[in-house]
Chains A and B, each alone.
Chain A
């Protein structure tokens, strides 16, 4: 349910871009999906096949690049993937700060036939 309206949005973005470029058909869409975007690639795939029917995106391959969330240690400056129930830096033990890595949710590029 959650992925349904957002998948409609993906089909719309891709179709609009394809039209702007006078494309006849979209053959591939690459999405970047962060761990904390709240969206699940498999679920987007399922809705995509249904929602793209009759659009320029019908039959396109949907490729999803997943990004793991990272925290940044304020003392070492390193970016790290946290352990469950902890935000501690693996190097020095200090709690890391949230970053934008892992919050991505965008259409990266398209391949089209003109």
Chain B
């Protein structure tokens, strides 16, 4: 019997990232743009999906709803005629690539379009796991406060597009635009930030146009 040391240097995310690449490439071949929607609970992820879909009349839209439990959001989306499937993680705080790969077997993709994957409401770990997306969309509400880039920097650093929701509440919650913007720009120099309001639909036409440009 003898002891020996083995150098490894293997990224623990490798297996997840390998599956994420497969999901990403296979959906791209079908003409699907995959959007990973990340944000805190109550930030307005589902309301934003509904408003984006309203402004995408010519696009086929698919939704995968991730929730710890319940299908409230899926029921809401299906009532609007949006093709939606539900994933319940039963406690897990983020979606990962194997979960998405498995759930795609239930989704009938019959034409090119946009697939929105609503991640679990959480600003921490969804940012660490690739799930096969082409775009990471961060939904952040004015009501959460302007310090969020400083408290959850990774989510802001990795975002390809940021929606600042509930903008009509800014004045009531002392939202500091300058402080928020300085934090976002320190982390991510070029990410577009769209100010929106899901109650009135303001700003969503521009968001949907951005998605169409990104897809084509």
Contacts and interface: CB of A to CB of B under 8 A. Distances in A.
Contacts of A14: 8
A74 to B, nearest CB: 10
Contacts of B6: 17-18, 21, 23, 109-112
Contacts of B144: none
B8 to A, nearest CB: 5
A6 B12 contact: yes
Given A97-B186, A113-B3, A87 B150 contact: yes
Interface residues of B, number: 34
Given A9-B12, A98-B153, A112 B4 contact: yes
Interface stretch (B76-84, B86-94, B105-113, B194-202): B86-94
B136 to A, nearest CB: 15
Interface of A is mostly: mixed
A10 B1 CA distance: 25
A87 B189 CA distance: 13
B15 A9 contact: yes
Contact of B186 (A17, A87, A109, A113): A87
Contacts of A107: 8-10, 12
Contacts of A110: 5-6, 8
Contacts of B185: 95
B40 interface: no
A23 B9 CA distance: 18
A110 B185 CA distance: 40
B11 interface: yes
Interface in A3-50: 5-6, 9-10, 13-14, 17-18, 21, 23-24, 27, 31, 36-38
A96 B150 contact: no
Given A2-B92, A98-B157, A38 B3 contact: no
A84 interface: yes
Interface of A: 1-2, 5-6, 9-10, 13-14, 17-18, 21, 23-24, 27, 31, 36-38, 84-87, 95-98, 103, 105-114
8 contacts: A1-B92, A9-B15, A13-B8, A13-B12, A21-B4, A87-B186, A97-B186, A114-B4
